[in-house]
A and B are shown apart, each in its own frame.
Chain A
């Protein structure tokens, strides 16, 4: 009964209702858009810093992480790989081998880190970053792809030959000639300056490490692996089950690289601060609007009281109106916010400097275009918050009006 009355009341003052609801709805839409933007930025950072570099779970020799020593490898690579690939908890399995080498172009030499990869697996990530030529072919063919900075240091380009010389695992001098098939604008500053990708089989041959890898990098089904993510922990357990613990360490990404976890934590932390500020300001706006809305009606409420409505009922009425108003606003906010979000998630937004050079932070380059990410929890949080503030801010004026002497209330100005 009260609800029906509340509803009627609202529509009696159609203009005021619509204006108030409109203001609230727009506020909510902006908040949603901001969420989408920030979540998108975080996902971009996390993807590059975690997914594409250290993965979610790593399998490597126990001493390898600390020393990155050439000979600390995981043996029986092909057999283990097949077993791990079969696991449902493993979204992607990336074998990796690395070795520091002296690289030589026609007249310049430079030290570089050779990364032996399986092109079929890494292609998805790296192909987008190719700025010249292409990525490696699926079959080993002595091809090499250089990081932008390295290609510049060596003064080589597509089609040129690069010699790599290194100390092989058996003590001999590993050396071979590779053909540059592409140049990559890599994801990390370090890789850009000294990274070179070759086929895993080619590197195994150069380093005399047959059927060995330095690490298996595993991606779990989780899209955004936070520290202690349960999905990642599941994958961790599954991998351990297959690989055992002899001669290998199986670790989660946050154990493998606490610095990355910290870095992402800071990014997340500062995002939270911004969020609080945004919520604070938006909340103030809503509070403001609702306060005034109800204060305006003191007179009217006074009349009702004079007509015999009990104070408690009055307050309830006002609160129900506030609730309905809030719900209307949320609906409007979702609609408008939905439009903003659509734009952000499809067209995305750019993060480059004036002349198109990429920016870096924490050693990681940002992608050219970042797409927004919409998370249901955010929408729910924003809606609940809005509703909460709307209703709560109606309390004070309602109570005040209910307590006033009807005559005073009617004269309220």
Chain B
């Protein structure tokens, strides 16, 4: 089972990856689209630079381990996000700064039980129920994740401790990239706000990219 979880975690990651992504956010108050470029090394280092729209172009976010910095080209300043603001949404989406940081490895923080297998009652996926380990610093009470027989996750439901569904994450549009099956689209839907969602689409994805030295440094943020 660990294998499955790790595979799910890594589905869009390589040891070094480079991607262009578009994000579409719809909330009750606004709807916007953004285009960005991202680089990642493992799960610990990520650099994201906004390309479009013009207002936000050049804004960059650097994550190294548990820290996040934002570079704002308009004022030419780099700001570290303090703990008090980690709850804030990232770039207006339904993902929080914290989500970015806590791309925690499911196996590390959760104990899983397989509650469904492919073939059982007509299902095509594994269904794993993840319960956080007693000391794990995660707010969820339970996460239910559906992983296909091809090791590609399709659905994750996040519940609070009372069993109420809080949000749903789906992976869609599975294609083959560099010999691997990769879902090119993720949609995050909050349960209490019908009609709202954040959709992330990979326009291009390159695993094992050549990343220059010092990509994940504060200086790199500014470039």
Contacts and interface: CB of A to CB of B under 8 A. Distances in A.
Contacts of B59: 173, 175
B116 interface: no
Contacts of B25: 171
Given A172-B55, A173-B59, A111 B84 contact: yes
Contact of B32 (A71, A102, A163, A170): A170
Interface in A163-217: 163, 165, 167-173, 175-177
A71 B74 CA distance: 24
B56 A173 contact: yes
A98 B154 CA distance: 42
A163 B55 CA distance: 17
Contacts of A168: 92
Interface string B54-91: 01100100000000001010110101111011001101
Interface in A129-179: 163, 165, 167-173, 175-177
A176 B29 CA distance: 23
- The number of chain B residues touching the other chain, given as a range, is 20 to 34
Contacts of B84: 111
A104 B29 CA distance: 28
Contact of A171 (B30, B72, B74, B88): B30
A39 B169 CA distance: 63
A345 interface: no
Contacts of B81: 102
B118 interface: no
Contacts of A175: 59, 72, 74-75
A167 B92 contact: yes
Interface in B4-28: 25, 27
A177 B30 contact: no
- List 6 A-B pairs, minimum CB-CB distance, nearest first: A171-B92, A177-B75, A175-B72, A171-B30, A163-B77, A163-B75
Interface of A: 71, 102, 104, 109, 111, 163, 165, 167-173, 175-177
Given A169-B30, A175-B59, A177-B77, 9 more contacts: A102-B85, A163-B75, A163-B77, A170-B32, A171-B92, A171-B93, A173-B92, A176-B74, A177-B74
Interface of B: 25, 27, 29-30, 32, 53, 55-56, 59, 70, 72, 74-75, 77, 79-82, 84-85, 88-89, 91-93
24 contacts: A71-B29, A102-B79, A104-B77, A104-B79, A111-B85, A163-B77, A163-B79, A165-B70, A165-B79, A167-B92, A168-B92, A170-B30, A170-B32, A170-B92, A171-B27, A171-B32, A171-B92, A172-B32, A172-B53, A172-B55, A175-B72, A175-B74, A175-B75, A176-B74
